Amino acid sequence: MAQDLSSLPTALYSQAQIRAGELLAVAKGEGTLYGLVERAGKAAFSYLNQYIDKSSSPKKVTVVILAGSGNNGADALVCARYALEMNVNLQVLITKQTGTAEFEQALNAFLAAGGTVELPELHVIKQADIIVDGLLGTGVKGPLREEVVSLIEAVNQSQGWILSLDLPSGIEADTGGCSPTAVMADVTLCFGGLKQGLLTSKARQHCGVLAFDDLGLTPYFTEESAVRVGRELLKGFFAARARDSHKGLSGKVVLIGGDLGMAGAIRLASEACLRAGAGLVTVISRPEHQLVVNVPRPELMFWGCELVDMEVYQRLGWGQVIVLGPGLGKQDWGYNLFKAAGLSDKPCVIDADALNLLSNEPRRQNNWVLTPHPGEAARLLGMSVAEVEADRFAAVRALQQKYGGVVLLKGAGTLIFDGKQMVVAPVGNPGLASGGCGDVLSGIIGALMAQGMDNMQATIVGVVVHGCAADLSAVQGERGMLASDLMPFIRQLVNSDLL
């Protein structure tokens, strides 16, 4: 099951912002940089001690504390100093005898307290019951040295419980990526400010349970780089509808897609649109697909389109919002509808093949929502998927700058950016990695836009509803989850009284 992150801060920070906050705290008389190290190390020890207390045989536990030569290693050494008083088999491994001023001060304090240190031995790491990972900190960028990779691989090969300090060694604080590998932590205890990268990309797999201690620094951060959203956003969000409401007040959406062989995509998107509360939904698709759309869901209106004619333009004019792309294809039929929708001034959700068509004819527009997965984002930006995933924050910024509007970059820790605000939505689970789930998301967003939310708000709320529906569905297992399994939970999540 996905971790409930509601107890974590909503403000996320870059490495530079956190460092600036630390320096400001010191300048304002909040102790010294080494004093912050002491706080972090004590917090780490407290977390470690709680875990050991729960073990069946604390006296037999082997604890390996792995310290690099930076401030992350200094945190680990302070933790080790407190651990000297515990009745466990403690081994402290350091990569160097010299390092940052804070590292050397922490090392001297540990040695003065009677501790001993050794150089890392891979077999010692692999055999540990508990590993405190203080190897690398927030300064990591680019490929790691071979000897460091060997240490990380040894940590990951162990059967022990792993506590990473601040972030798993090898993870980049600002991007959440790693090259070529990173520690697979059971718990990551983040200090000071929550790093933006820990909620997206590879970090979602490597962090394990994410815990946090602000070390008293919260008042010294002047601005955040991004904001975290989750299920708690929905509580009390959807007001009860007025008793005299009618379907015309709940929004009208036109969904376009479903070329030959792809009727399922537009069918899923359109039902999700209804389940998210849209009052009236019209599907424009191949005439052959009417039975596929209407037999299981007769509440949908359907218009069979062979050629783009005035009837199509009239239906585009009828809708308040257009959702374009699910199953659209890239042949003439889909391309002609793509061009027709482009002539409309209505707010629009662009998904799937419509994004691929857009990549061939780039243009900028302010009233649309783009919803690419990393592959579609790569085509839109003319780069590789690996380049997109290496820095998802940079990619979503580049997409918004090039194409305008609101951009939603799907993936582990979805990113949403409108040119001003960056939002990270660590919701959902790997069960969403199946056909049709993205189509469901586009339908939800279209429905929320039609009900009066602005494009950014509808996108944020839509992502949360979609991801949380997947989390609720995953009670029965992530593997084998279908896009259609989300439908009952979508309905639940857009009704605040059912949360």
Using one digit for the tens of pLDDT, what is the confidence trace for 390-400?
999 999 999 99
Return the pLDDT at 10.
97
Q: The domain that contains 158 carries what CATH number? A: 3.40.50.10260
Residue 54 has pLDDT above 80, yes or no: no
**pLDDT band at residue 401 under the 50/70/90 scheme:** very high
**Same domain? 352 vs 453:** yes
Instruction: Check residues 249 and 157 and name the one with the higher pLDDT.
Output: 157
Return the pLDDT at 143.
87
Indicate the residue among 209, 225, 241 that finishes a domain: 225
**Same domain? 219 vs 281:** no
Extract the tokens encoding 268.
């899923």
Using one digit for the tens of pLDDT, what is the confidence trace for 184-242?
999 999 999 999 999 999 999 999 999 999 999 999 998 899 999 999 999 888 988 98
455 found inside a domain: yes
Domain that holds residue 354: 232-498
Using one digit for the tens of pLDDT, what is the confidence trace for 422-440?
999 999 999 999 999 999 9
Helices (H) and strands (E) in the chain, counts: 18, 18
How does the average pLDDT of the chain come out, rounded? 95
376 found inside a domain: yes
**Same domain? 244 vs 214:** no
**Same domain? 309 vs 199:** no
Q: How many domains does the chain have?
A: 2
Quick one: average pLDDT of 317-327?
98
How much of the chain exceeds pLDDT 70, in percent? 99
> CA dist 437 to 28, 48, 432, Å?
50, 39, 6
**Same domain? 208 vs 267:** no
Indicate the residue among 207, 225, 243 that finishes a domain: 225
Residue type, 45: F
For residue 422, the surrounding DSSP H or E stretch is: strand 422-425
Return the pLDDT at 125.
97
55 found inside a domain: yes
Return the pLDDT at 377.
98
**pLDDT band at residue 473 under the 50/70/90 scheme:** very high
Residue 499 has pLDDT above 90, yes or no: no
For residue 408, the surrounding DSSP H or E stretch is: strand 406-409
**Same domain? 154 vs 246:** no
**Same domain? 361 vs 459:** yes
CB neighbours of residue 149 within 10 Å = 16
* C-alpha–C-alpha distance, residues 461 and 233, integer Å: 8
398 found inside a domain: yes
**Same domain? 187 vs 329:** no
Residue 53 has pLDDT above 90, yes or no: no
Max Cα–Cα distance, the chain, nearest Å? 85
Which residue matches tokens 């040295």?
145
163 backbone dihedrals φ, ψ, rounded to 5°:
-110, 115
**Same domain? 466 vs 322:** yes
Extract the tokens encoding 175.
């991007």
**Same domain? 273 vs 342:** yes
Return the pLDDT at 1.
63
Using one digit for the tens of pLDDT, what is the confidence trace for 124-176?
999 999 999 999 999 888 889 999 999 999 999 999 999 999 999 999 999 99
Quick one: average pLDDT of 93-107?
97
Q: The domain that contains 395 carries what CATH number? A: 3.40.1190.20
Indicate the residue among 175, 203, 225 that finishes a domain: 225
Q: Enumerate residues 6+ apart whose C-beta is below 8 A from 75.
A: 37, 40, 41, 44, 106, 134, 165, 166, 191
State the DSSP string of 67-95: E-SSHHHHHHHHHHHHHTTSSSEEEEEES
4 found inside a domain: no
**pLDDT band at residue 498 under the 50/70/90 scheme:** confident
Do you find a cis peptide bond into 296, omega within 30 degrees of 0? no
Pairing type for strands 321-324 and 11-12 reads: unpaired
* C-alpha–C-alpha distance, residues 207 and 4, integer Å: 14
Give this prediction's pTM. 0.96
**Same domain? 214 vs 91:** yes
**Same domain? 57 vs 190:** yes
Return the pLDDT at 497.
82
Lowest mean pLDDT among 45-59, 309-323, 447-461: 45-59
CB-based contact 395:381 (threshold 8 Å): yes
Instruction: Reduce the DSSP state of residue 190 to 3 states and report it.
Output: strand
Quick one: average pLDDT of 17-41?
96
Using one digit for the tens of pLDDT, what is the confidence trace for 262-316?
999 999 999 999 999 999 999 999 999 999 999 999 999 999 999 999 999 999 9
> CA dist 37 to 105, 243, 247, Å?
10, 58, 59
157 found inside a domain: yes
6 found inside a domain: no
Instruction: Reduce the DSSP state of residue 367 to 3 states and report it.
Output: coil
